[in-house]
Amino acid sequence: RKEVEQDPGPFNVPEGATVAFNCTYSNSASQSFFWYRQDCRKEPKLLMSVYSSGNEDGRFTAQLNRASQYISLLIRDSKLSDSATYLCVVNLPNDYKLSFGAGTTVTVRA
Amino acid sequence: DAGVTQSPTHLIKTRGQHVTLRCSPISGHKSVSWYQQVLGQGPQFIFQYYEKEERGRGNFPDRFSARQFPNYSSELNVNALLLGDSALYLCASSFGTGPYGYTFGSGTRLTVV
């Protein structure tokens, strides 16, 4: 089983729409969770950390469900500039590596 | 301030050859991590170096090696290149060894023919 699994999409949504997607992780001991954004042929960039109580950053809301071992990302009022691949990332305690999912592609159309 | 810089940006090599990729971390960052991203997949961890010592190694063959220099820059070496080594190689720097504060470089795109 993969450490981190994501629905690859693509999610094709109109401007202004809300889009949400999940990722699941296999190791219940995972401690740190992140969403990264990656534009086509560019490097990943941190979008937001995910905290146990859930957190918002502007139009982006992240939720963590430890019991079911999934993380979600919701994007409100989608902009054309939100078109990207969103990478779910988890980290185990005292582990040096970040474990990435394969990414969920979101395309926002005018 | 300069971000994480990687060189070269693109590289074409022949099977069996050797390649060296270079990374300069953000000033003040002491940790460098290397990741391989094959098309359509997420980045996979190769190595982490902190204070010139290897702190972590991913599930990659011994053909892959790395080192970190006193100025915290790093090299990733791959011997006996295979077609499957074609990928985007990403370097990330951070102040410490934990998962926070990672900044990725723009990567080196390696094509093995």
Lowest mean pLDDT among A4-8, A105-109, B98-102: B98-102
* B33 contacts A101? CB cut-off 8 A: no
**Residue B1: pLDDT band by 50, 70, 90 thresholds?**
low
Q: Number of helices and strands (H, E) in chain A?
A: 0, 11
What integer pLDDT is reported at residue A96 of this predicted model? Answer: 83
Residue B104 has its nearest CB partner, among A34, A44, A102, at: A44
List, in order, residues 6 or more apart from B87 with CB less than 8 Å away: B36, B37, B38, B39, B109, B110
Rounded Cα gap, residues B65 and B20, in angstroms: 10
Query: B2 pLDDT exceeds 80?
Result: no
The predicted model gives A58-72 an average pLDDT of 97
Per-residue DSSP letter, A42? S
Smallest Cα distance from A9 to chain B, Å: 12
Rounded Cα gap, residues B93 and A100, in angstroms: 17
Per-chain mean pLDDT for chain B: 96
* SS3 at position A108: strand
* A43 contacts B104? CB cut-off 8 A: yes
**Residue A95: pLDDT band by 50, 70, 90 thresholds?**
confident
**Is the distance from CB of B92 to CB of B35 less than 8 angstroms?**
yes
